[in-house]
């Protein structure tokens, strides 16, 4: 998401590494990288200029202590680069905020009206169904009105989505959209639905006929909310479209779609500043559950490479049973999990969405090499490999000798290297999880968590609320420094834990036997030495 913009902030911080003071000269140099990345990311020119001016005004003349005395002597606290990024984070948050994701609800018994508007191709019909799903989860009973009568198959699409959600969809042949919406409102009253969503018609571009019809729909049903579904991939045009729709219809807010499908998406940074109307939701993914309430802080953190812990937890809570998750975590952290548990966790990850989207929200991966992505199909391959094993083999992978591995290779349709690589990663994960279980503070010492902790500390937030007591008082010398020597190696090591590493060779039966004999001889020699003493 917004890769072009993220790249500029990363380059800016690197240029300030080692500086003692934020001067006009070094800030201008850093802002040059951000300026280019904002424009490449399709952020509106005036918005980019204002943002850069505000950052420069707050940053110039700031002196940041590189070291401060601690209990164990001198230790790093914050660098000018860290402080600069904190200023950028605050300004990004202000640019897209404040948070205003709530909808206006009508007084009962009148159903609340939500009019969905937008151009063709913005994902309006799918987003209408996603919003209906969101409202169902909140305890509402929605009804959909298929008022997009001009786009081929639009009505059928909404009907099928309504069937998936088990909610009513109103449509009548030969009826104009304003009258269709009026009938839909009446149907909602009859069926005791408390929300009615109007999926209105769009065009390839704004035209007078479309806008006149939308104004007529608005006058007929007087919806409490008018939401523009805006495609982030159309860049500058998204902002111009938003301005015109707002001028004619007085929008309540926006839903930005396809932010996960484009490296630019600068409309997310421009649309609130230009129109003054809030972003209500983000559409991230194709599933009907892939609609997030917009949080400026979360998107700002992801742009700066800090991840989005809150968003990650929301994804997790959506698909996980709390009691079962607690038991699973206990088993995994003890290192006593088997391949059945392993594949269960894979299925859980698949429910949460794209791996790349999840990793964007995870602070540990802020330092992954540029361009590195994870193939979602790899999870399917792993499932196929484990499904080709017997129940005993899944419970005790040590049973998998050369002969058994050959059978799994044939049954799963994968290569021997892929099967042995999976086993290697599984045994490695058992070992790592056992270590984390024995030392709970280990996770807080990994790169990525340090940066998000530092950012929140500079904002005056209590880190105990986020990571517990240990991270709140963690000595920075215990944490690997991002951007220093070995930073890339550390990132690669974390990638290997997630299965990115090329498959490693698993020992053959002969090699295992030789190793056993060697260890046996070593034990015998130790016994002899003890007897001599």
CB distance 132 to 264 below 8 Å:
no
pLDDT for res 486:
39
CA separation for the pair 290, 235 (Å, rounded): 21
Q: Flag whether pLDDT at 192 surpasses 50.
A: yes
12-38 b/e (C-beta count within 10 Å ≥ 16 → b): bbebbeebeebbeebbeebbebbbebb
Strand order in the sheet with 169-170: 169-170, 142-147, 195-200, 112-117, 225-231, 253-257, 279-283, 291-293
Q: How would residue 33 be classed by pLDDT, with cut points 50, 70 and 90?
A: confident
For 112-297, CATH number out of 3.40.50.300, 3.20.20.70, 3.40.1390.10, 2.160.10.10 equals 3.40.50.300
* Section 67-96 average pLDDT: 66
**From CA 456, how far away is CA 124, in angstroms rounded?**
36
Burial of 338 (0-12, 13-18, 19+ CB in 10 A): middle
pLDDT of residue 334: 62
Q: Which of 105, 123, 121, 115 is nearest to 144 (CA)?
A: 115
Structure tokens at 513: 């036997």
Find the helix or strand (DSSP H, E) in which 113 lies: strand 112-117
Write the CB contacts of 166 (distance below 8 Å, at least 6 apart in sequence).
none
Per-residue pLDDT, 460? 52
* d(C-alpha 488, C-alpha 52), whole Å: 30
The SS3 call for residue 256 is strand
Q: 19: pLDDT confidence band, cut at 50, 70 and 90?
A: confident
Rounded Cα–Cα distance for residues 143 and 120 (Å): 22
Place of tokens 């943002």: 51
Does 141 have pLDDT greater than 80?
Answer: yes
Interatomic CA distance for residues 360 and 307, integer angstroms: 6
Nearest to 193 by CA among 252, 130, 139: 139
Q: How far is CA 375 from CA 173, 285, 349, 378, in A?
A: 45, 15, 13, 6
Rounded to whole angstroms, the Cα distance separating 115 from 217 reads: 9
CB distance 117 to 231 below 8 Å: no
Please give the CATH topology (third level) of the domain spanning 311-506: 434 Repressor (Amino-terminal Domain) (1.10.260)
Give the least confident one: 154-163, 339-348, 394-403. 339-348
Number of continuous H segments (helices) and E segments (strands) in the chain: 24, 10
Of the pLDDT bands very low, low, confident and very high (cuts 50, 70, 90), residue 407 is very high
The better pLDDT of the pair 282, 496 is held by 282
**Which range (157-161, 311-315, 442-446, 511-515) has the least confidence?**
442-446
**502 pLDDT tier (thresholds 50, 70, 90):** very low
Question: How far, in Å, CA of 287 to CA of 476, rounded?
Answer: 41
Q: How confident is the model at residue 218 (pLDDT cuts 50, 70, 90)?
A: very high
Report the C-alpha gap between 161 and 155 in whole angstroms: 10
> DSSP letter at 507?
P
Q: pLDDT band for position 471 (50/70/90)?
A: very low
What is the C-alpha to C-alpha distance for residues 330 and 434, in angstroms, rounded to an integer?
10
Beta bridge partners of 74: 69
Peptide bond preceding 531: is omega within 30 degrees of 0, i.e. cis? no
* Nearest of 151, 156, 105, 150 to residue 129 by alpha carbon: 156
Highest mean pLDDT, choosing among 121-125, 261-265, 401-405: 401-405
Q: Residue 306: is its pLDDT beyond 50? A: yes
Residue 181's pLDDT band (cuts 50, 70, 90): very high
Which long-range CB contacts under 8 A does 246-250 form with residues at least 24 apart?
246/275, 246/277, 248/211, 248/214, 248/215, 249/117, 249/211, 249/214, 249/215, 249/218, 250/226
Looking at the domain that runs over 3-96, which CATH code has it been given?
A: 1.20.120.140
What pLDDT score does 125 carry? Answer: 92
User: Could you tell me the maximum CA-CA distance found in the chain, to the nearest angstrom?
Assistant: 102
Is the pLDDT at 412 greater than 80? The verdict is yes
> Domain extents for the chain?
3-96, 112-297, 311-506
The pLDDT value recorded for residue 185 is 94
> What pLDDT, on the 0 to 100 scale, is given for residue 483?
37
Mean pLDDT of the chain: 75
Which structure tokens are listed for 22? 């934020």
Q: Report the candidate in 144, 192, 384 with the shortest Cα–Cα distance to residue 288.
A: 144
Structure tokens given for 176? 């104009």
Most confident of 65-79, 95-109, 260-274: 95-109
pLDDT digits (tens, 9 = 90+) for 329-340: 666 656 667 888
Decide if pLDDT at 213 tops 60. Answer: yes
Residue 16: asked if its preceding bond is cis (omega within 30°), the reply is no
Q: Are 284 and 296 in contact (CB under 8 A)?
A: no
Grade residue 301 by pLDDT with cuts at 50, 70 and 90: confident
Measured between alpha carbons, how far is 409 from 416 in angstroms, rounded to an integer? 6
In sequence order, what are the residues at sequence separation of 6 or more whose Cβ sits closer than 8 angstroms to the Cβ of residue 226? 114, 115, 117, 218, 249, 250, 251, 252
The number of residues in the chain equals: 533
User: What is residue 400's three-state secondary structure?
Assistant: coil
- Name 228's bridge partners: 117, 254
pLDDT at position 463 is 40
Question: Cβ distance 161 to 186 under 8 Å?
Answer: no
pLDDT, tens digit, for every residue of 46-69? 888 998 999 888 887 655 544 444
Contact 112, 103 (CB under 8 A): yes
Share of the chain above pLDDT 70, in %: 66
């Amino acid at each position: 998401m917004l890769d072009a913009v993220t790249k500029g902030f990363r380059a800016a911080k690197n240029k300030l590494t080692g500086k003692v003071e934020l001067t006009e000269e070094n800030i201008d140099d850093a802002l040059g990288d951000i300026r280019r990345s904002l424009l490449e990311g399709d952020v509106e020119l005036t918005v980019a200029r204002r943002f850069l001016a505000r950052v420069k005004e707050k940053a110039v003349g700031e002196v940041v202590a590189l070291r401060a005395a601690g209990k164990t002597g001198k230790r790093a606290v914050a660098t000018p680069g860290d402080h600069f990024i904190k200023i950028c984070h605050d300004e990004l948050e202000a640019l897209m905020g404040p948070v205003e994701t709530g909808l206006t609800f009508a007084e009962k018994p009148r159903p609340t009206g939500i009019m969905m508007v937008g151009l063709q191709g913005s994902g309006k019909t799918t987003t209408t169904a996603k919003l209906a799903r969101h409202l169902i989860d909140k305890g509402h009973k929605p009804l959909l009105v298929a008022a997009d009568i001009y786009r081929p198959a639009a009505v059928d699409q909404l009907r099928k989505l309504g069937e998936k959600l088990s909610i009513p969809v109103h449509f009548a042949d030969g009826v104009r959209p304003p009258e269709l919406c009026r009938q839909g409102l009446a149907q909602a009253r009859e069926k005791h639905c408390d929300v009615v969503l109007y999926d209105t018609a769009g065009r390839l571009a704004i035209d007078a006929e479309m806008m006149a019809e939308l104004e007529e729909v608005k006058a007929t049903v007087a919806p409490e909310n008018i939401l523009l579904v805006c495609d982030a991939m159309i860049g500058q045009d998204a902002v111009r479209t938003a301005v015109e729709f707002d001028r004619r219809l007085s929008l309540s807010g926006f839903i930005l779609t396809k932010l996960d499908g484009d490296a630019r998406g600068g409309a997310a940074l421009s649309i609130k500043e230009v129109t003054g109307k809030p972003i209500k939701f983000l559409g991230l993914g194709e599933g009907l559950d892939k609609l997030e309430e917009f949080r400026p802080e979360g998107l700002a953190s992801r742009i700066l490479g800090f991840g989005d812990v809150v968003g990650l937890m929301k994804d997790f809570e959506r698909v996980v049973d709390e009691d079962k998750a607690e038991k699973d975590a206990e088993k995994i952290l003890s290192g006593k999990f088997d391949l059945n548990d392993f594949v269960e966790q894979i299925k859980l990850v698949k429910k949460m969405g794209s791996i790349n989207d999840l990793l964007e929200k995870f602070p540990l991966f802020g330092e992954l090499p540029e361009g590195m992505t994870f193939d979602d199909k790899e999870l399917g391959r792993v499932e196929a490999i484990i499904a080709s094993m017997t129940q005993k083999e899944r419970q005790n992978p040590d049973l998998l000798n050369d002969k058994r591995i050959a059978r799994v290779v044939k049954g799963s349709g994968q290569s021997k290297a892929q099967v042995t690589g999976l086993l290697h990663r599984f045994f490695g994960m058992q070992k790592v999880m056992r270590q984390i279980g024995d030392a709970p503070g280990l996770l807080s010492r990994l790169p990525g968590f340090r940066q998000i902790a530092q950012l929140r500390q500079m904002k005056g937030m209590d880190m105990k609320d986020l990571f517990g007591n240990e991270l709140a008082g963690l000595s920075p010398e215990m944490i690997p420094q991002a951007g220093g020597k070995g930073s890339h190696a550390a990132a690669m090591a974390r990638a290997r834990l997630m299965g990115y590493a090329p498959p490693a060779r698993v020992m053959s039966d002969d090699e295992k036997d030789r190793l056993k004999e060697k260890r046996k001889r070593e034990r015998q020699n130790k016994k002899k030495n003890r007897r001599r003493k």
